[in-house]
């Protein structure tokens, strides 16, 4: 049987093997460090950045972060999502942690919110406001109906279906009931015979009636500058806004002015605000048959005067309001 090698030979072999292992390990370490340094230099040389995690974040927040990093945001689509609110990021490409060069695009998909939603309360809103609210929530307007209501102003939403608070799917259309406002009161027309034109106009203003055409005649058996006829006649059923035509007895006999006669006649209308301490809002309105025109609407200082050139054709009525109160009426009679 051969004799075992001496102990000194075993020791030398072990040392030699250990040196080889250490050299290999050192070589591997140096190679790793070299690769890391090289990759770092390459990344820095190409001016790259690490893509942040945008999933679950608000789209505006993501846009701001990507912009600060020199990256572009591209929305590749939208989708309903039960967990993520509207306008939050569902997913992204490239994924978070990827290193990309500045100026590259990061594509995101944005949540449209849950596919179901609570129907908003539209009661009391105008039709335009309700349409905006429905659109913002991915809903639409359905059938429209209207009815008289003393509780709601004209054009306000009175009721809706589906009702507020019900869970509905997106693109559901809401049927709306719109108020026409309260019914207009009907009352008998007052008798204006014997009134002066100014007092008759004031009476019509109080009744919310509108002055129509003014006709001039000459009668010797009735006082001058008084109402001798009206249309509709006294006792006729009228409602606010109804046109009332007047016939005035004057010394300069004329006939109904339709705007084709005396079209070039104008008269200077002057009004001075009474003395005081505060400015007041003055409105001057001209009424002609089938037409109402604002001539002046502004604040005047106490004692300040305005001059207005007013056409006389059609016998227009000038009405002056101070802080909403009718203070003067004048009929501009054509000659």
Output the pLDDT for position 132. Answer: 93
CATH class of 263-335: mainly beta
pTM of the predicted model, to two decimals? 0.40
Give start-end residues of each CATH 2.60.40.2560 domain in the chain: 263-335
Bridging pattern class, strands 280-288 and 317-322: antiparallel
Tokens representing residue 140 in the block: 């639409």
Asked if residue 165 lies in contact with residue 205, where contact means CB atoms within 8 angstroms, the answer is no
pLDDT digits (tens, 9 = 90+) for 37-50: 555 555 454 588 99
Which option is the CATH number for 48-111: 3.30.70.80, 3.30.10.20, 3.30.230.70, 3.40.50.720? 3.30.10.20
Q: Which residues of the chain have pLDDT under 50?
A: 43, 45, 253-263
The 3-state DSSP class for residue 313 equals coil
Residue 261 is classified by DSSP as: S
Give start-end residues of each CATH 3.30.10.20 domain in the chain: 48-111, 116-179, 184-256
- Given CA atoms 34, 36, 42, 47 in this order, what sign does their dihedral have? negative
Whether omega before 162 lies within 30 degrees of 0, making that bond cis, reads yes
Tokens representing residue 223 in the block: 């006082």
pLDDT digits (tens, 9 = 90+) for 47-70: 889 999 999 999 899 999 999 999
Nearest to 213 by CA among 256, 177, 181, 163: 256
**CATH code of the domain occupying 184-256:** 3.30.10.20
Output the pLDDT for position 24. Answer: 73
155: left (phi over 0), alpha (psi -120 to 50) or beta: left
Bridging pattern class, strands 72-79 and 105-111: parallel
- C-alpha neighbours within 13 Å on the C-beta side of residue 265: 14
- C-alpha neighbours within 13 Å on the C-beta side of residue 208: 8
**CATH code of the domain occupying 116-179:** 3.30.10.20
């Amino acid at each position: 049987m051969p004799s075992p090698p001496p102990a000194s030979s075993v020791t030398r072999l072990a040392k030699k093997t250990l040196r080889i292992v250490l050299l290999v390990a050192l070589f591997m370490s140096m190679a790793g460090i070299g690769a890391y340094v090289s990759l770092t230099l390459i990344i820095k040389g190409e001016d790259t950045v690490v893509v942040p995690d945008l999933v679950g974040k608000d789209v505006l927040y993501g846009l701001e972060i990507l912009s600060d990093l020199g990256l572009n945001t591209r929305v590749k689509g939208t989708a309903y999502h039960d967990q993520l609110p509207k306008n939050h990021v569902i997913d992204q490409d490239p994924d978070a942690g990827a290193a990309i060069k500045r100026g590259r695009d990061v594509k995101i998909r944005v949540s449209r919110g849950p596919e179901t939603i609570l129907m908003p309360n539209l009661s009391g809103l105008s039709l335009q406001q309700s349409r905006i609210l429905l659109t913002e929530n991915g809903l639409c307007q359905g059938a429209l109906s209207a009815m008289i209501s003393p509780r709601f102003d004209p054009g306000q939403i009175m009721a809706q279906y589906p009702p507020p608070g019900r869970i509905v799917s997106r693109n559901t259309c809401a049927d709306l009931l719109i108020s026409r406002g309260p019914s207009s009161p009907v009352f008998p027309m007052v008798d204006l015979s014997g009134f002066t034109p100014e007092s008759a106009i004031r009476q019509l203003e109080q009744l919310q009636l509108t002055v129509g055409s003014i006709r001039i005649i000459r009668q010797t058996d009735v006082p001058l500058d008084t109402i001798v006829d009206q249309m509709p006649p006294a006792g006729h059923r009228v409602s606010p806004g109804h046109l009332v035509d007047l016939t005035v007895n004057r010394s300069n006999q004329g006939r109904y002015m339709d705007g084709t006669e005396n079209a070039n006649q104008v008269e200077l209308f002057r009004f001075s605000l009474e003395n005081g301490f505060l400015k007041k809002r003055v409105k001057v309105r001209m009424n002609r048959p089938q037409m109402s025109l604002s001539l002046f609407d502004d604040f005047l200082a106490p004692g300040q005067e305005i001059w207005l050139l007013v056409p006389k054709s059609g016998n227009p009525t000038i009405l002056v309001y101070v802080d909403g109160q009718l203070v003067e009426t004048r009929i501009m009679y054509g000659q």
